[in-house]
Amino acid sequence: MIRRLLAVAALLVGGCSTLPPGEMPLPPRSQLVAFSVEGRFALTSRPPDAAAQQASGRLRWLQQAPGQAEILLMTPLGQGIAEITIRPQRSHLRTDDGREYAAADSETLLREVTGHSLPLRRLADWLRARGPVVASDRHGRPLKIAENGWQISYDYADEDPDALPQRLDLQSHSGQQQIDLRLRLETWRSEP
């Protein structure tokens, strides 16, 4: 009986030595090109002379290549609200009620449809902590990035120098609109 238990335990331990597809270790942050990330967002926008607007929910970002992404925004319970498709020549937004919008670039599209100005093309790099670094931690990872009027602050889940960010706080306080976007990134995956 003890031999059978040991044999079963050995099989279980041996089975755990390989990770299922899609759960392979991520490459270093500097080498991550195609990826998906899931998490939560909280957005506060303060237009001039108007009340603050707030939105929160879940986010799924699939970055297929530079300039090519699919973003799904969901309610906190996971119901789809909007899907944004970014391509080099054209970006599309489809809402949960079936309406579709298109523009030459994702920033124009988002501004026209929602009134929010978010640099979605740059956000793909900012998710991976890429950009002009203002401050780094003791492991050499970016703690703050500043670019085009945006300040991005980072938190990491562990001490690994190649760790991907777990939390981002993005702020833009231009004269026209103040935006605070908080992201909590829960699941990172490398895509083929």
pLDDT in tens, 26-79: 888 888 999 999 999 999 988 777 888 899 999 999 999 988 999 999 999 999
176 three-state secondary structure: coil
Alpha carbon distances (Å) from 190 to 8, 48, 74, 99, 157: 32, 40, 22, 31, 18
182 falls within a domain: yes
Q: Provide the CATH number for the domain around residue 158.
A: 2.50.20.10
Q: What proportion of the chain, given as a percentage, has pLDDT over 90? A: 65
Q: Quickly state the pLDDT bin for 187 (edges 50, 70, 90).
A: very high
Domain count, the chain: 1
DSSP calls for 77-103: TS-EEEEEEE-SS-EEEEETTS-EEEE
On the question of pLDDT at 178 being above 80, the answer is yes
13 falls within a domain: no
Longest dimension (CA), the chain: 76
174 falls within a domain: yes
8 falls within a domain: no
pTM across the whole model = 0.82
66 falls within a domain: yes
The pLDDT of residue 28 is 85
15 falls within a domain: no
Q: Quickly state the pLDDT bin for 185 (edges 50, 70, 90).
A: very high
Alpha carbon distances (Å) from 192 to 12, 49, 84, 88, 168: 28, 47, 21, 20, 25
3 falls within a domain: no
pLDDT, tens only, 120-132: 889 999 999 999 9
Domain that holds residue 58: 25-190
The pLDDT of residue 24 is 61
2 falls within a domain: no
